[in-house]
Amino acid sequence: MRKKITVVGAGNVGANCAVRIADKELADVVLVDVVEGVPQGKALDLLQSGPVQGYDVNLVGANDYAPTADSDIAIITAGFPRKPGMSRDDLLLANYDVVKTATENVAKYSPNCIIIVVTNPLDVMTQTALWVSKFPKNRVVGMAGVLDSARFRTFIAQALDVSVENVTAVVMGGHGDTMVPLVRLCNVSGIPLTELMDQATIDAIVNRTANGGAEIVKYLKTGSAYYAPSAAAVEMAESILKDKKKVLPCAAYLEGEYGINGLYVGVPVKLGAAGIEKIYEVKLTDEESAKLHKSAAAVQELVDVLKAKM
């Protein structure tokens, strides 16, 4: 039997998730959005791409959640994108209501699914999905680190004129300006980055990575990135559906790991059929650890804002 993925939000990120899922023939897709006609139209358009692209995947659009029943995975992208000058954090209260409603419905119709959250501010929205779904923590994961490290890898590959496939990079922490690209753990086919680049070049790339989302918002003016975010979310979905057990940086609920408790923060995890199957606790230097805690504190601040409103 085919797998089934619900994508909540048929906007830029959601629709591109559907495209990538279909192109990979990963699962049938149900696109859900509040705007009447948009998920239906996009799903039908994508369905009609099947004969050309060569995929046998069913795609339907809906404004309610009944057709999503018994999904294996739900990718939540619904919400408002970041506008120029707006931080991810400004989105907090507006997107809280959206993610809450989406999670309630996803949990009701697909009580056994794994939820991948994409909506920003990412770490807090993932925490919202955990609270609302009441799922075990391994079944609620946030997409941030895969995207942030993809940006980091892209810039490194560009600067060294090597294949992106050879570049391994880890970005930890919250998905925000305080994210922590871990240069020490970065390598090109095993060669440490520090042996390939001078410190000034590394610093410039780290800075560009941390501002990678804002750079695109500045160009697009009316929205935020969606090609790389959808690619990242679908890589996570694929690792789960195929039980590939990829080790990827994702937002995971920490309960003591890295000395952080009761908070979603980006860390390396193993993603398999059970969702987050393992959280890797990498030994950090004092400086790295301080940066991670600073980033976690920024996430905690937003969680506190939400808790005060609830």
Question: Cα–Cα distance between 93 and 99 in angstroms, integer?
Answer: 10
Phi and psi at residue 154, in whole multiples of 5°? -60, -50
* Residue among 97 and 304 whose Cβ is closer to ligand APR: 97
Q: How far is the CB of 82 from ligand APR (least distance, A)?
A: 5
Nearest to 263 by CA among 295, 300, 233, 237: 300
Q: How far is the CB of 161 from ligand APR (least distance, A)?
A: 30
Q: How far is the CB of 95 from ligand APR (least distance, A)?
A: 6
* Residue among 140 and 193 whose Cβ is closer to ligand APR: 140
* Residue among 154 and 167 whose Cβ is closer to ligand APR: 154
Catalytic residue flag (residue 293): no
Q: β-strand 140-142 against 114-117: which pairing, if any?
A: parallel
Helix (H, G, I), strand (E, B) or coil at 155: helix
What tokens does 51 get?
Answer: 């004969």
CA end-to-end span of the chain:
41
Question: Cα–Cα distance between 239 and 244 in angstroms, integer?
Answer: 5
Q: Which residues pair with 251 in a beta bridge?
A: 142, 266
Q: How far is the CB of 209 from ligand APR (least distance, A)?
A: 16
* Residue among 118 and 202 whose Cβ is closer to ligand APR: 118
Q: Which residues pair with 269 in a beta bridge?
A: 248, 279
Shortest-Cβ-distance residue relative to ligand APR? 11
Helix (H, G, I), strand (E, B) or coil at 63: coil
* Residue among 229 and 275 whose Cβ is closer to ligand APR: 229
DSSP letter at 173 equals B
* Residue among 95 and 133 whose Cβ is closer to ligand APR: 95
Q: Angle 227-241/145-160 helices, nearest 10 degrees?
A: 120
Q: How far is the CB of 169 from ligand APR (least distance, A)?
A: 20
Question: Cα–Cα distance between 249 and 20 in angstroms, integer?
Answer: 20
Question: Cα–Cα distance between 200 and 206 in angstroms, integer?
Answer: 10
Q: How far is the CB of 5 from ligand APR (least distance, A)?
A: 15
| Binding region for ligand APR (CB under 6 A) | 8-14, 32-35, 77-79, 81-82, 95, 98, 101-102, 118-120, 223-224, 226, 229
- DSSP H helices, the chain, are 12-23, 38-47, 50-53, 92-109, 122-133, 145-160, 199-210, 212-220, 227-241, 286-309
Q: Which of 4, 139, 175, 270 is catalytic?
A: 175
Active site residues: 175
